[in-house]
Structures are given as C-alpha cells and as structure tokens.
Amino acid sequence: MFYFSTISISFEKKPNCNMKSIILFLSIFFLFFTAKAQNALTWHTDLNKAIELSRSGKKPVFAFFTGSDWCGWCHKLQRDVFAKPAFIEWAKKNVILLELDFPRGKQLPAELSTQNNKLASQFKVSGFPTIWYFNGEKDKSGNVNLTPLGSHGYPSGAEKGKEEVRFLADAAAILERNKK
C-alpha cells in the first residue's frame, strides 16, 4: 500500500525548479514502478486453479510450501532466488506457481488451510521451505490426481549471491528427468 502526502510545489522562478525536471522525475518514478510490476510473479493459492493453468499451459505446478510469517529460510529463499530476474524469467516460461502457506500469526480460510494441510501430508513435507513439482488432473468424479516430479529446498552449497543459479540448475534437472 502506498501513502502519498501532499507536496506543495511552487512554480516561482527558482534556478533549480522547472517544469521539465518535475516531468522527468515523475516519468522516471512511473517507469520504475511499471517495470517492477511487469517483473512480478503470479502466485496462486488454489490448487484447482493451478492445475487448470498447468494443464492448459502444459507446465508443471511449482508448489512452494512456506511459513510466510515465521520461516526465516523461506524469506531467504524468496530474497535470494525468487526475487532474482533469472528466476522470474524461468518461472514465467516453465512452471505454474502455487504457494501453500502455513502461517502461525494469522489464520487462513478453513478451505485453504485444509487444502494446504492435505497437500503437505500427501507430499510428506517435514520442513520449510520445500518445493515440489507435480502434474495434476481431475478425474471424472472431480478427484484430483497428482503426479510428483521431484522436490528440493533452499539451494545449499550455492555460491553466495548466486543462489538462484544453483536453484535453477536443480529445478532444471528435476524437470528434465521427468521429460523422458
């Protein structure tokens, strides 16, 4: 959420204040926020929607099991990997993002909490962050069938500052192994 306070601008004849510099500043400001918005990733929370997009886009689901309000390693993964341009570009091309949150300080809607707990149980998630790749489809009776492709977590042993390189290599290996 952005808060803007009222700024009073005087257009008196001052040596450093002219209309061109104000327009230039505002243009740069809006270009910066437009560029940031274009780099934003779309994280889904509804399994059914993620599976639908996965099927139509012929991409696997990238399920991020996280504790958004308490898990330090989850925040580190988001900062060191998910926020990097290489990951953003890769994710947009290769996967459908699904965030499965397990917060401690806030309560999720019951349906979402049930969905997340069921998936954590099904994939035997025992720690955070955990990433699972899977394909899914609904059968005729509406049941969701998932085909696990592989999992990993924070890229341990990665060169500091280049964690996304290791993470993406691990992800590519999982996805490549399942193309065969």
Each residue's pLDDT tens digit, 68-102: 999 999 999 999 999 999 999 999 999 999 999 99
Percent residues over pLDDT 70 in the chain: 78
Tokens 């929370």, residue located: 45
* Mean pLDDT value across the chain: 85
* Correct CATH for 42-177 of 3.40.30.10, 3.40.50.2300, 3.40.50.620, 3.30.300.180: 3.40.30.10
pLDDT attached to residue 142: 82
In this prediction, the residues of the chain whose per-residue pLDDT falls under 70 are 1-39, 180
